[in-house]
Amino acid sequence: MKWNKYTLKTRSEVEDIVISTLADVGVEGVEIEDKVPLTESDKKQMFVDILPDGPADDGIAYLNFYVEEDQDPQPLLDRVKEALEELRIFMDIGECTITESQTEDKDWINNWKQYFHQFYVDDILIIPSWEDVKPEDKDKMIIHIDPGTAFGTGMHETTQLCMRQLKKYVNKDTQILDVGTGSGILSIAALKLGASHAVGTDLDPCAISAVKENLEANDVPVTDMDMILGNIIDDKAIQDEVGYEKYDIVVANILADVLIPLTPVILHQMKKGGLYITSGIIDDKEESVVAAVKAAGLEVLEVTHQGEWVSVTARKIG
């Protein structure tokens, strides 16, 4: 099956209003193409440390919507054009021209899976839910992971750096706090390494279901991990729910610019002698994170590297 693709040219300043108008007349989903730069809030919720510079914002947005090839698009297009003309009375919505093209039928939700295949972190096998374990790998530690469309796969250097540190320090008594849990891969690794319990926090509601599904895929009892939705840095209620001075290890694989304000806060969740394992740090931010760790009164134990990425492991000494 093919799809008819309709591209509406409008102004980026009013794209939200135009999208809402499209929804009101029956357009079920819109794909946005614009050059509007990310906000600081957007950047803080992304699991990358340096974002590439994009082109300058030219004020134009292209809104794509799709209609099945065997469906008559005209009634929908008539409603769209009528609604846009009404909207034009109240504001400048730009050209609002609509061009048509065709696109092949693709499974947009699952197409990305072709790029994620099983791989090793030292002797730990990370394998997606849609691949089978080879006979020669059945005796290895295996983590089944389905990141979904919202989270990373574990292939990134920062995740691997954290996982190697967990291998060094987790034992059967470990209580672990995983800040910025995502798919839950680090918590699941810790639990498989013998940790007694994990608590995860994340800003994205999708993390709740992702973690539950990945725990089940790894035959880890869901009671072994609790998920908390919210920002532990500035939300006292979240801090209280997570608890104080109760974690042997805190792992945080997030942005350096988030780690810096997180560190003096998370100190209070750690037991005396507890470990703080961090990554998500590009190499030119290493000094800033190490300085923040020391300023919080933590003792730096190790700084490890993989490619251009850095992990800092520290201990609470007081």
Q: Please check whether residue 168 is in contact with residue 195, taking contact to mean a CB–CB distance below 8 angstroms.
A: no
Collapsed DSSP state (helix, strand, coil) of residue 187: helix
Token readout for 75 is 């009634």
Q: How far is 65 from 77, CA to CA, in rounded Å?
A: 11
Quick one: which H or E segment has residue 15?
helix 15-24
Whether 202 has a binding-site annotation, put simply, is yes
Q: How far is 154 from 12, CA to CA, in rounded Å?
A: 34
Q: How far is 198 from 276, CA to CA, in rounded Å?
A: 14
Collapsed DSSP state (helix, strand, coil) of residue 197: strand
Whether 253 has a binding-site annotation, put simply, is yes
Dump the DSSP string for 26-70: T----EEEE-PPPPHHHHHTSS-S-PPPPPPP-SEEEEEEEEETT
- CA 252 centroid distance within chain: 13
The identity of residue 189, as a single letter, is A
Whether 180 has a binding-site annotation, put simply, is yes
- CA 142 centroid distance within chain: 22
Q: How far is 145 from 130, CA to CA, in rounded Å?
A: 9
Helix axes 74-88 and 15-24, enclosed angle (nearest 10): 130
Q: ∠ at Cα 27 (26, 31), nearest 5°? A: 165
Whether 194 has a binding-site annotation, put simply, is no
Q: Which residues are annotated as a binding site?
A: 159, 180, 202, 253
Q: Which residues are annotated as a binding site for S-adenosyl-L-methionine?
A: 159, 180, 202, 253
